Amino acid sequence: MFNDALHEMTLSEDGSYTAYSKEYDEHYHSTKDGALHESLVKHVQPAFSLKEQQDEITILDICYGLGFNTLATLYYHQTNSLHSKLKIYSPELDASLVKSLVDFTYPKEFAIYKPIIKAISEFGFYEDEYFYIEVFLGDAREYVKKFKNRFDIVYQDAFSPSTNPMLWTKEYFEDIKRSIKDDGVLTTYSISLATRLALYENDFNIYLNIGEGYRDATVASLSFLKNFKTVDMQHKIACNPDAKSLRD
């Protein structure tokens, strides 16, 4: 059984299950947007709209959780017949959660990834011709410091800034800036001004991710992205002079 003292499976509105964390008092995904749908529209699709032509795509998935962003990435790769090699690096503090994921009820779209889910659950690692997946059991803050100029994509999907502030501070995004390539793309569900400021203060350009059937989200990059609408941060700062980024 997946349900334990700290987690409860919850049906989300697209028909896929997510989980509720009793420890953080928060769901792993927006139950309204749907777990699978949220992964696809807020992370995988906007990132791959910019990167899918590359032969090799290196991804930082913050944090592994139930693994939806990683698995939705494999699903996107399969459904779009991509031939790129994917390298996914994902930290996760909760080792017992990762172990228990063999028992999680994933959507049918992930059925073919059962052997991958099992390998990650047992060894924290999977590799084949197309995919290299490494789940690091430990603190994301320490893990990201290892990488320099490495990632094409960063999925920033920690619990909310109010619940898990250490993964949203200016100093944290300084390390993310060091780890991402100059033309890399970061995706996040957070649209809070504090989050956008923490990115902006690290030289990220801020873009809107808006569409039908999901709540607005954010895309950020050190480069100019012509496919996304820019958020005018100078204007936001002028309208909200007291707004501040989170700090360590």
Ligand X SMILES: C[S@@+](CC[C@H](N)C(=O)[O-])C[C@H]1O[C@@H](n2cnc3c(N)ncnc32)[C@H](O)[C@@H]1O
Query: Which spans of this chain sit near ligand X (rule: CB under 6 A)?
Result: 28, 39, 63, 65-69, 91-94, 97, 139-141, 157-159, 164, 167
Quick one: 63 or 180, whose CB is closer to ligand X?
A: 63
DSSP 7-75: EEEEE-TTS-EEEEETTTTEESS-TTT-HHHHIIIIIIHHHHHHHTTSSEEEEEEE--TTSHHHHHHHH
Provide the token pair at 75: 């699903």
Quick one: 65 or 107, whose CB is closer to ligand X?
A: 65
Quick one: 31 or 164, whose CB is closer to ligand X?
A: 164
Quick one: 30 or 221, whose CB is closer to ligand X?
A: 30
Tell the smallest beta-carbon distance from residue 51 to ligand X (Å): 18
Residue type, 178: R
Tell the smallest beta-carbon distance from residue 222 to ligand X (Å): 23
Quick one: 178 or 236, whose CB is closer to ligand X?
A: 178
Question: Which residue shows structure tokens 């789940």?
Answer: 135
Provide the token pair at 190: 């957070």
- Which residue's C-beta sits nearest to ligand X? 65
Sign of CA dihedral 117, 119, 122, 123: negative
Helix axes 114-123, 68-79, angle to 10 degrees: 150
Q: Kind and range of the H or E element at 10?
A: strand 7-11
Tell the smallest beta-carbon distance from residue 55 to ligand X (Å): 26
Tell the smallest beta-carbon distance from residue 237 to ligand X (Å): 28
Tell the smallest beta-carbon distance from residue 126 to ligand X (Å): 16
